């Protein structure tokens, strides 16, 4: 006689608990506080005041102010009006060195300005970039029109105005950025009088 083997079926083991079920359930108050914090992050008001642009210290056509600023091409301190008419690359080079905070020299910027002027005849497409950069550093108004338009219509007046603006802010344009920084950081030592020896009495 053949013995028939009875197959015994065992129940399948239960699935492992999910990670979410292991975490403790948040109470209603915790859920409410979490939702409130998330809403505050998205609806946080910006109380920071927006900076207001300031006007230029001189006008675009204030070239007559250069008579007392000293920027002639043969003067070491120089008058911006005469210097810009004779050799605008020097005026622009000095402006670019100060605006770039010494990362480019006056000679390199002036030579590039002259190269663009000789090749294209339109150096304003390069110099207007520095007017925008100068306005961004000192929060100056875009007056009387856009920077590109000011340089395209009146390049000498625009360079003179930027030169005067930096001059009025305390920069000695003829000595460059690094010399200006050395002049500001170096403070003269106060003169100390020599000690006076007391008189000897008999």
Per the domain annotation, does 35 fall within a domain?
A: no
Structure token digits, residue 89: 């690359």
Write down the pLDDT at residue 189.
52
- Average pLDDT in the chain: 76
Q: Which residues contact 114 (CB under 8 A, 6 or more apart)?
A: 89, 123
Per the domain annotation, does 77 fall within a domain?
A: yes
Number of domains in the chain: 1
Domain of 97, in residue numbers:
67-182
Per the domain annotation, does 111 fall within a domain?
A: yes
Span 47-75, pLDDT tens digits: 667 788 899 998 888 766 655 444 433 34
Given pLDDT bands bounded at 50, 70 and 90, which one contains residue 185? confident
Per the domain annotation, does 137 fall within a domain?
A: yes
Closest of 95, 76, 64, 73 to residue 167, by C-alpha = 95
Per the domain annotation, does 128 fall within a domain?
A: yes
Counting every residue, how long is the chain? 202
pLDDT, average across residues 94-122: 94
* Lowest-pLDDT range of 33-42, 59-68, 145-154: 33-42
């Amino acid at each position: 006689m053949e013995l028939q083997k009875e197959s015994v079926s065992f129940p399948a083991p239960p699935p492992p608990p999910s990670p979410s079920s292991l975490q403790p359930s948040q109470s209603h108050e915790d859920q409410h506080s979490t939702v409130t914090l998330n809403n505050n992050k998205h609806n946080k008001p910006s109380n920071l005041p927006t900076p207001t642009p300031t006007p230029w210290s001189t006008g675009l056509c204030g070239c007559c102010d250069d008579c007392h600023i000293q920027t002639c091409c043969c003067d070491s301190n120089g008058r911006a009006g005469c210097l810009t008419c004779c050799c605008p690359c020097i005026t622009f080079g000095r402006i670019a060195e100060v605006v770039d905070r010494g990362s480019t020299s006056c000679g390199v910027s002036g030579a590039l300005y002259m190269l663009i002027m000789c090749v294209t005849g339109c150096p304003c497409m390069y110099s207007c970039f520095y007017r925008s950069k100068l306005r961004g550093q000192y929060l100056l108004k875009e007056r009387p029109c856009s920077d590109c338009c000011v340089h395209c219509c009146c390049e000498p007046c625009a360079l003179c105005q930027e030169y005067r603006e930096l001059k009025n802010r305390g920069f000695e344009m003829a000595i460059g950025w690094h010399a200006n920084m050395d002049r500001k950081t170096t403070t003269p030592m106060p003169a100390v009088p020599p000690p006076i020896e007391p008189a000897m009495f008999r």
